[in-house]
Structure formats: structure tokens, C-alpha cells
Structure 1
């Protein structure tokens, strides 16, 4: 039986060596296949990019030619826009100043008295209220 075991063991070892060698060859083939596949994908992508970059797109609307009159109109429009922007900034500054004055008047006692209606009845009522307090 020992000879049979030895013979069986050598057969198993030979089979294992064959499996290992076939795995090595199959692994190398897989690596080569992956590299070739990546190379082909890159070539296809480069071809697509090249094709797209060489394609001339046609616009839906033709771009008008800009002559001197239209450039002058554009310059006038730019000047008008900057003028209106400057005026808007000036209005904003004046509005801010007015708002500050209103806030000061709200806080001011004299401002409150000036806002009170000046009729004879109110003046009499104020005088009576002062007289009663003293």
C-alpha cells in the first residue's frame, strides 16, 4: 500500500503543479486581456473626442455682424446704464441719510412734541395737565 500511496501522492502533486501552472498562464492571459481592453477603450475614447472636436456645429440663429453703428449703440447703452446706476446709488445714499434723520427724530423729545397736533384744544389740555401736576 505504501507504493500505491506514493504513486497516488506523486499523481496528486503532478496534478497540483498542473493547476498552479494553468492558473499562472490564465492570470497572465487575464492581465494581457485587461491591458488590451483598456488600450482599445482609450483609442475609442480618443477617436470619439477627435470626431467631436472636428465636428462643426451649426448655430440655430445666425450671429449678426456687428458694425460701427451697433457698437456705438452698445457704447451708448453702457454709458446710460452706468449713469442710471450712479443715480440709483445717489438715491440710496439720500434715502439712508433720510432714514437716519427719521430715527434721530423718533428718539428726540423735541421731535415728538413737534409732531403733536397744534390745536387750541390740545394746548389747553396740556396746560391743564401741567397745572394739575403742580
Structure 2
């Protein structure tokens, strides 16, 4: 069957099927990407902890820490926490968007109608039903 031979309804149905499939694939890819990111971050943290724990502990003479260094470390730590919180918020937002796509796909009445074959008998039955109500 060639593209020119398809009716408008069949063309619309094909396009809607493409949209639905791409949404499904994109949602799965987003979830898989976020899962892989979190797994890799956990591995990096584990490696850092392991490397730190394996270092030999040599007692060195303590040098008094300047207050500027402490303030800088505190600021760096604060910015790191804020960055992580921002990433968590972005992840929540993406999860909500993915959930909305899933809900939208489940409630997609137009797609459901396009999947059903449209015949003259069905259209007449729907018109009669609307006229009765």
C-alpha cells in the first residue's frame, strides 16, 4: 500500500501511533538515563571513600588553619549541597513530567478512537446515540 492510497484517517492514525511510540521510547530513555546517572554517581562516591580509607594515616605536625580557608571550605560545601539539591529538584520535575506523559497516554481518547476502525455503521450509531441524549 502506498502513502498516496491512504485515507486521511489512516494517515492521522499512523502519525498518532508514531507520536505515542516516540513518547513511550523517550520516557523509557529518560528513566534509564537517570538510573544510570545515579548508579555512576554512587560508584564514584564508593571509589572516593575506598581511596580515602586506604590512605595511610601519617601523623603530621598540625598547622593552624587560617579562617579564610575554613570559610572557603564551608562555602564550597554549601554550594555543593545546593547543587545536589538543585539536581534532586530537577529529577523530581522530570519524574513528574514523565508521569504526566504516562497519564496522558492512558487518557488519550483521540488515539483510542483512531485505533478503532471507523465505518459508516459506527458513525451512524454514534449520531443516533447523540441524537437520543
Is TM > 0.5 for Structure 1 vs Structure 2? Answer: no
Q: Larger Cα Rg: Structure 1 or Structure 2?
A: 1
Q: Which has the higher contact order (CA 8 A, sep 6+)?
A: 2
Query: TM-score, normalized by length of structure 2?
Result: 0.39
